Amino acid sequence: MWVLSMLSALAGNKTVMSIFAALVGGVGLYVAGGISRAKKDAARRAAEELAAAQDRLEMGREATDAERAARDLPDEAARREAMRWAKH
């Protein structure tokens, strides 16, 4: 019973309540900042994955173009072209 009377006395004190409100607000801002950072990290990772996929696609296109061109080359020229690609 004395705990209830103690809590009601603290709840009636404006200074204690304003400190409590500030603490709760600070915790809320900290949590919101963590969520924001997580969203930024996820967006950054997604952008990196997209860039990597686009690079792989472009490399595949270049390789396909080189393969098509190599089909029409004589054997020695095709070997030179293959060696050029093998060095990359």
Residue 50's pLDDT is 94
- Is 7 part of a structural domain of the chain? no
Domain that holds residue 55: 13-87
Residue 51's pLDDT is 93
The stretch 37-55 carries a mean pLDDT of: 92
Rounded CA-CA distance 18/11 in Å is 10
- Tokens representing 50 are 């997209």
Contact residues for 81 (Cβ-Cβ < 8 A; gap 6+): 66, 69, 70, 73
For residue 22, which of 74, 78, 30 has the smallest C-alpha distance?
Answer: 30
Overall domain count for the chain: 1
Question: DSSP assignment, residue 73?
Answer: S
Provide the mean pLDDT of the chain. 80
Instruction: Report DSSP letters for 4-29, one per residue.
Output: HHHHHHHHH-HHHHHHHHHHHHHHHH
Answer whether residue 22 shows pLDDT above 80. yes
- Is 1 part of a structural domain of the chain? no
Q: Which residue type sits at 14?
A: K
For the question of whether the overall pTM of this predicted structure is more than 0.75, the answer is no
- Is 5 part of a structural domain of the chain? no
- Is 28 part of a structural domain of the chain? yes
